[in-house]
Chain A
Amino acid sequence: MCVSGQPLRALQRVSHYYDFSHFMFSDPELLLGAALDLPIAQKGDTRHYRRLTLVTNGGRIEKVFYPLSDRRAAGNARQIKAWMQAAGWGQ
């Protein structure tokens, strides 16, 4: 699943545009980030999450992937998938 600080409408547009089926949560107030004190980036007046992945098990954080390069986003996502497969996910 994905969590983004983008407003709901932006997520709906991009999800529809790319026929993206993974769950997406809009968190424009960065509630989750505030609760966990996650790294936040600020551009002008807007704040958004830094690229980061949490792997949770039963609601508890088991693994953190950070930092993830913006330029190698696809490579990072593959790295995460490879870790999950090695950990026995999706089997």
Chain B
Amino acid sequence: MPTDKESHDGVSADLDSPRPRQGPVSDEASRATVETPASIDQAPDDRNPLRVRMREAEEVRRLIARLVGLRLPDVTLTTCQAMQLPLLSHVSGRVAIYFVPGDKEGPYENGSQLPIAHSIVALSIAWGPSRQWE
């Protein structure tokens, strides 16, 4: 009868031996250990809603963890008044930056839908006309 320390089909385990010592594990390394292997990601049950949601939630968690604490980059964007303005010159103090998707759910003007109208209406309703958040 095999003992704990004996081999089974070439695979051996010594239950009495101490675990190998490991150095400090970085956050990235620890996250890597819980990642789903690519072979499982491509499995037929990839469309399992629960699995998809879990993966999306993990991606969101990583995105937020990565972004919080970052400084905004020094990019120059165009305002509605067609002025080229460095973003950083406009974000002193606290600022909420709402990224508006390019949806086309708003009303029509001259036969074509107004892009982002849906988002603008939503912001107008919730934030009001004041610029107190900017």
Contact = CB atoms under 8 A, between A and B. Distances in A.
Q: How large is the interface on A (under 10, 10 to 19, 20 to 34, 35 or more residues)?
A: 35 or more
A5 B97 CA distance: 13
Contact of A90 (B95, B109, B132): B132
Interface of B is mostly: mixed
A24 B102 contact: no
Interface of A is mostly: mixed
Contacts of B115: 6, 10, 14
Contacts of B13: none
Interface in B53-94: 56, 60, 63-64, 66-73, 75, 77-80, 82, 85, 87-88, 90-94
Interface of B: 56, 60, 63-64, 66-73, 75, 77-80, 82, 85, 87-88, 90-103, 105-106, 109, 114-127, 129-134
The 9 closest A-B pairs by CB, nearest first: A77-B126, A48-B102, A73-B122, A35-B73, A74-B122, A25-B77, A49-B99, A4-B100, A90-B132
